[in-house]
């Protein structure tokens, strides 16, 4: 999904205000640097920066899509490399394990209905119960 481009409400308001002030006097000078040409220059600076920002987002989106595509290619080649090592040396070989695979003779076969977590790692239940006299908490597992 492409990143959302930015539009400045302040910029739109400034453009409308500049058009209105221009109808009063195109060379209006209100003192303290508040001139219509200075105002117009700042409006153009903001417009340029907003366009640059939105262009950068588009470039970033393109780079992100290219990166995801390359990542997919890398995942495929990673799998192919492991499969090729398994084909050349066998899936029970030391080399297959060195390449990151689990050698066939070291795989654990799960029984039907067994959970993927080892059964010896049962979750423990710990509860603190205050005794009747309120002195020592009792813990159960």
> Each residue of 51-73: pLDDT tens digit?
999 999 999 999 999 999 999 99
Q: Which has the higher per-residue pLDDT, 60 or 118?
A: 60
Distance from C-alpha of 63 to C-alpha of 74, rounded to nearest angstrom: 16
Q: Name the token pair of 87.
A: 């084909």
Taking residues 31-57, what's their average pLDDT? Answer: 95
Nearest to 7 by CA among 40, 45, 43, 53: 53
Residue 134 or residue 98, greater confidence: 98
* H helices present in 1-141, as ranges: 9-24, 36-89, 94-98
- Average pLDDT across the chain, whole number: 84
Q: Looking at the predicted structure, is the pLDDT value of residue 118 above 70?
A: no
Pair of tokens at residue 64: 């992100």
Q: pLDDT grade, residue 116 (50/70/90)? A: low
Cα separations in angstroms, 115 against 112, 120, 122: 9, 12, 11
Name the phi and psi angles at 138, rounded to 5: -100, 135
pLDDT number for residue 119 = 52
Tell me the C-alpha distance between 20 and 16, whole Å. 6
Q: Does this model's pTM top 0.85? A: no
Which pLDDT belongs to residue 112? 74
**Which pLDDT score is estimated for 115?**
66
Asked if the model's pLDDT at residue 139 lies above 70, the reply is no
As a whole-number percent, the residues of the chain with pLDDT over 90 amount to: 62
């Amino acid at each position: 999904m492409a990143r959302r481009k930015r539009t400045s409400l302040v910029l739109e308001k400034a453009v409308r205000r500049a058009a209105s002030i221009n109808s009063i006097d195109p060379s209006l000078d209100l003192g303290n640097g508040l001139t219509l040409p200075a105002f117009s220059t700042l409006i153009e600076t903001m417009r340029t920066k907003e366009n640059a920002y939105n262009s950068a987002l588009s470039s970033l989106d393109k780079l992100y899509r290219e990166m995801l595509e390359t990542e997919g290619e890398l995942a495929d080649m990673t799998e192919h490399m492991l499969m090729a090592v398994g084909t050349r040396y066998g899936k029970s070989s030391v080399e297959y394990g060195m390449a990151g695979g689990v050698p066939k003779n070291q795989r654990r076969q799960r029984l039907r209905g067994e959970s993927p977590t080892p059964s010896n790692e049962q979750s423990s239940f710990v509860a603190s119960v205050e005794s009747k006299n309120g002195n020592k908490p009792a813990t159960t597992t």
